[in-house]
């Protein structure tokens, strides 16, 4: 159980709505879970447009990735403070990443890329939809909503046969860091290796500045082994059916860290 007194912490919570419904599954889970964390529902503010949220630290926003990123920019946070989680970089040299991969840019891949490849933004969380590119000619469809620069850094990753995929919710506590695991694709009866996941989490402990809450996406391969797919920072991730109480505490842990880091970095910039 994650009990926090929001008033003592000095954190306000804003949850995004879409019309009369919640913006995404996590928004509902956070709203529902707040009361179980000792927070009055009246203390959680619903909003629709991110510009309604005051641009100042001390606020937790449960919203889409794009709108949350807009909020960070409005309060003066640098992108590296919240957009730098990369499993392939963090686990480099560990022997825990089995797939072949290389770093490039979207522009280079569009000109010289060899398919099939799984591509994803390297540093910008969900900068464009990650996915398998079977033919370069399919890229315009995949990137139809992407309006950013073509020189964005990406990873080109070997395509492998994943038969089951899970999302693991991790809080960086010394004991029992895994607070939940949810299946999201493939055969739900094929579960990932506990030993492998534990080894990955233990390896990541060496990074003292790592996010206090993050998700680890892992897949069971056709040969039965488990591999990391990617990591996601805990400031805006779907709940994937995680119970509201646990999910809200997971988000809040990361937001408390972000706001504290933001204050420290702001002092350094002065």
For the domain covering 160-233, report its CATH number.
3.30.470.20
Going by C-alpha positions, the residue among 240, 258, 239 that lies closest to residue 30 is 239
- Dihedral sign, Cα of residue 150, residue 154, residue 157, residue 163: negative
Rounded alpha-carbon distances, angstroms, from residue 85 to 112, 126, 197: 26, 11, 17
pLDDT in tens, 56-82: 888 999 999 999 999 999 999 988 888
Sheet with strand 226-233: strands edge to edge: 178-186, 162-171, 213-221, 226-233
Q: Express the helix, strand and coil content of the chain in percent, nearest 5 each.
A: 35, 25, 40
Give this prediction's pTM: 0.87
Q: Any idea where the domains of the chain sit in the sequence?
A: 6-82+239-256, 101-157, 160-233
Residue 122 has pLDDT above 90, yes or no: no
Distance CA 169, CA 177 (A): 8
pLDDT in tens, 143-153: 888 888 899 99
Which whole number is the average pLDDT over 79-91? Answer: 87
Going by C-alpha positions, the residue among 153, 164, 113 that lies closest to residue 135 is 113
pLDDT in tens, 7-43: 555 678 999 999 999 999 999 999 988 877 777 777 7
């Amino acid at each position: 159980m994650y009990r926090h007194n929001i008033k003592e912490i000095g954190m306000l919570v804003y949850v995004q709505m879409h019309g009369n419904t919640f913006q995404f599954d996590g928004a509902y889970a956070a709203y529902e879970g707040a009361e179980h964390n000792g927070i009055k529902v009246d203390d959680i503010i619903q909003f629709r447009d991110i510009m309604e949220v005051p641009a100042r630290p001390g606020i937790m926003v449960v919203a889409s990735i794009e709108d949350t990123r807009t909020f960070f920019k409005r309060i003066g946070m640098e992108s590296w403070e919240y957009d730098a989680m990369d499993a392939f970089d963090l686990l480099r040299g560990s022997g825990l990443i089995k797939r072949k991969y290389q770093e490039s840019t979207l522009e280079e891949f569009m000109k010289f890329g060899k398919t099939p490849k799984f591509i994803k933004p390297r540093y910008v969380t969900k900068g464009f939809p990650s996915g398998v590119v079977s033919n370069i000619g399919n890229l315009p469809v995949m990137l139809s909503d992407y309006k950013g620069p073509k020189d964005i850094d990406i990873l080109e990753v070997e395509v492998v046969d994943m038969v089951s995929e899970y999302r693991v919710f991790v809080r960086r506590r010394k004991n029992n860091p895994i607070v939940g695991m949810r299946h999201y694709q493939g055969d739900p009866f094929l579960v990932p290796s506990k030993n492998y996941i534990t080894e990955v989490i233990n390896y990541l402990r060496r990074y003292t500045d790592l996010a206090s809450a993050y998700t680890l996406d892992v897949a069971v391969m056709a040969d039965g082994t488990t591999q990391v797919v990617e990591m996601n920072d805990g400031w805006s991730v779907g709940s994937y059916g995680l119970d509201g109480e646990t999910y809200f505490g997971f988000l809040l842990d990361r937001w408390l860290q972000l706001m504290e880091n933001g204050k420290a970095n702001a002092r350094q910039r002065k």
